[in-house]
Amino acid sequence: MELIPEPDQDERLQYEAMLKLKKSNCILDEPDTSINGINIRDYESAKKLIEEKDKKDDLGQYHLYSNSDIETLTLVQHPGDSKYEISIFKVEDSGRLFQDYRHVKAAAFITNNGIKLGMNKSDIIKKLGKCYTAKDSMKGFIELYYRIELPNDTKSKLLKNNNMPTYYASYKLRKNRLEKFEFGFEYP
């Protein structure tokens, strides 16, 4: 007999918050779907930024720096995606870590909704709406988590048009400053 550990209180609270959000029928109508002109799962827009010399890591991810070295953009392809078909975007402070990533001509990585690092919680909510769950921490962290699942969809039919069952977006703030965010389609 295998014992399954009980979820910790944070996981249970997050799960309950997601159920409450799901039951409310609150829908994120205008989700983030691009960064600096690269559209989600759009080969043509991604190949304008990704170059042949850019190599994917072992997880199938491309990594790029802003021209100021302070931001890192990670572009994720799901197994089976076509070349340059990006399903998840991640942006975070580069910190002091320096890898051999290529620099792109962008001072900052900004979503189609104007989300960028350094923003505060109220500005993010103004742009994306109140259809989120929040995960708080005692250490000054908060995560705003948005989700779209079939059969619900956006006005633009994001899930249907991309043949994907679930979209998510996560915005992590520390001391009311956005320091990391990611969005895209969960692997089906």
Nearest to 32 by CA among 105, 116, 94: 116
Residues 32, 113: contact at Cβ < 8 Å?
yes
pLDDT, position 95: 73
Written as six digits, the tokens of 74 are: 């990670």
SS3 content of the chain, % helix, strand, coil (to 5): 15, 30, 55
- Mean pLDDT for 34-61 is 91
pLDDT digits (tens, 9 = 90+) for 52-86: 888 888 888 999 999 887 899 999 999 988 889 99
Interatomic CA distance for residues 154 and 31, integer angstroms: 8
pLDDT, position 101: 86
Whether residue 2 has pLDDT greater than 60: no
Residues 110, 91: contact at Cβ < 8 Å?
no
